[in-house]
Structure 1
Amino acid sequence: MVLISDPWFYALAIPAFLINGISKGGFASAAGNPSVPLLSLMIPAPQAAAISLPVLCAMDLTGLRRIWGRWCQREMRVLIPGALLGILLGGLAFGAIGDRETKLMVGLISLIFLARAAWQAWRRSLPPPAPHSAAKGGFWAAVSGFTSTIAHAGGPPLAVYLYPLRLDRAVLTSTTIAFFALCNYVKLVPYVLLGQFSAENLLTSLLLLPLAPIGVRTGMWLQTRISDRLFYNLVYAMLLVTGVKLVWDGLGL
């Protein structure tokens, strides 16, 4: 059967996509994207990225309906050109980066993301809001577009620029959702051209697709019932173990 049948793959995929959906639903929206790191423990990282993309696109539709028109237009005008450049570069580099190198990059991004979260939690006082910068926004959007194309891991680079701006929480969330919805749908083009949507990958994505609305609706439901801190601690613990394992495998240790 042209379908991934390993039960251990689904034991990782189901919680990973539920967490993605919960984040898209507005609960703990900075929790990151664990699907590629977790799936890369079982299958090649490029295949994990290809299986994830259709499910992420389905989640984006629900997210966009919730936040339509609430994003920061000034920042989006800066971020979109950088994202398109990054996606182009990511598409060109996709076939040239091997599985070990991709796992190493995904693992390092996961650990850097965790290190940044730990630093933010440790720092008690916040600096004043950073000023808008077209140059910085375009640069970090390009980095985000590149890492998002390779492994759907564009969150940390984008956060480096957006978080210091200290935007209103609703505006920040809406801008982030709109940015990655655009990236995900544009990324469909290089993924098709690179032949990533094989029958096995598409059928596996289709099987996992129902997790998209379940996760998003769960995120909406959890917003007023469970603290972000508990959810973050669980996700961060999972990403720590996964990130270390991927770096280990990527280095060939």
Structure 2
Amino acid sequence: MTDSLTLAFFTFAVPAVLLVGLSKGGIGGAIGLLGVPLMSLAVDPVRAAAIFLPILIVMDIVALWSWRHFNDRKTLLMILPGGVIGIALGWATSAYVSDNALRLVIATATILFTVRYFWQVYGPHSRVPREPLPHRPVTATFWGSLSGYASFVAHAGGPPFQIYVLPMQLDPKAYTGASIRFFAIVNAVKVIPYFFLGALDRENMFISMTLLPVALVATMLGAAVVKHLKAEVFYPMTYGLAFFAGLKLLWDGLFG
């Protein structure tokens, strides 16, 4: 057993992979954001992201097959170039960003997204109907770039993607299909910089394969659970957990 494969590591890693698997299975939302922050409590954020990448790619393949008949092609084509730009920026700046700085990036993205969720659901304008927004190329590139960057450093690209796409009020199946395709492409592209950065070394790949069965079971479990769980109970709970995970990483990033 390597130094990484300790009981303390798996205490954080297994729940982290379970949560991401549940997210990929259809539960979605903030629960997927908990993965890297939770694993980052056991190993540095770069390594946590590297361990997650092969697992995410396998789950992407399963999700692509499950949602192969649904997509919004225009949305995908509009936001994807920005995603690739964000990955390139993350690669270019990776040598200059410390572990604590990455913790701050993850924490900021998590906290802002959860605060945004509670404001929309419980804020003073929560009951005001909103008209769907049209596509905006400049805005799509901006949020796509942030999504690609956050995905590169922490697999946390969901919030920027949702900030751009959700206001368009797409059909839920079309939204899910476009989201799955976007992040499947982004995760595949990330393999190149992760490889050249040495993050996909033998030990990290071995750990990924060790955790993969947990991810696959969680993905199937998520697909089953989402059919029976009441959203009005589950989502506030998971967004609240994400908020506290973000606060913990914020503390570590500031005072680590």
TM-score, normalization: structure 2?
A: 0.94
Quote the Cα distance in structure 2 between the aligned partners of 1:2 and 1:8.
13
1:40 positional shift: 1.0
Aligned pair partner of 2:179 in 156, 176, 181: 176
Tell whether the 8 Å contact from 1:141 to 1:158 is kept in structure 2 after alignment: yes
- Which secondary structure does the structure 1 equivalent of 2:71 belong to? coil
Q: CA RMSD in A?
A: 1.5
1:127 positional shift: 1.5
The residue type paired with residue 155 of structure 1 is G
Quote the Cα distance in structure 1 between the aligned partners of 2:234 and 2:56.
20
Tell whether the 8 Å contact from 1:2 to 1:199 is kept in structure 2 after alignment: no
Quote the Cα distance in structure 1 between the aligned partners of 2:203 and 2:129.
47
Q: Which residue of 1 aligns with 2:64?
A: 64
1:50 positional shift: 0.5
1:202 equivalent to 2:175? Answer no
1:144 equivalent to 2:150? Answer no
1:228 positional shift: 2.4
Quote the Cα distance in structure 2 between the aligned partners of 1:165 and 1:66.
24
Tell whether the 8 Å contact from 2:36 to 2:48 is kept in structure 1 after alignment: yes
Tell whether the 8 Å contact from 1:17 to 1:211 is kept in structure 2 after alignment: yes
Residues 7 and 126 from structure 1, CA distance in 2 versus in 1: closer, same or farther, beyond 3 angstroms?
farther
**Structure 1 stretches of 4+ moved >3 Å:** 28-32
Identity of aligned residues (%): 36
Q: What residue ranges of structure 2 are gaps of 5+ in the alignment?
A: none
Q: Which residue of 2 aligns with 1:36?
A: 36
- Which secondary structure does the structure 2 equivalent of 1:83 belong to? helix
- Which secondary structure does the structure 1 equivalent of 2:200 belong to? coil
Q: What residue ranges of structure 1 are gaps of 5+ in the alignment?
A: none
1:24 equivalent to 2:24? Answer yes
1:84 equivalent to 2:84? Answer yes
Q: Which residue of 1 aligns with 2:134?
A: 131
Q: Deviations over 1:17-42 (max 9, x none)?
A: 11211111112456432111001111
Q: Deviations over 1:95-141 (max 9, x none)?
A: 22100100111111110111111011121223111111122112211
- Which secondary structure does the structure 2 equivalent of 1:95 belong to? helix
Residues 114 and 29 from structure 1, CA distance in 2 versus in 1: closer, same or farther, beyond 3 angstroms?
closer
Quote the Cα distance in structure 1 between the aligned partners of 2:95 and 2:234.
35
- Which secondary structure does the structure 2 equivalent of 1:42 belong to? coil
Quote the Cα distance in structure 1 between the aligned partners of 2:19 and 2:234.
9
The count of residues paired between Structure 1 and Structure 2 equals 253
1:73 positional shift: 0.5
Q: Which residue of 2 aligns with 1:108?
A: 108
- Which secondary structure does the structure 2 equivalent of 1:224 belong to? coil
1:252 equivalent to 2:255? Answer yes
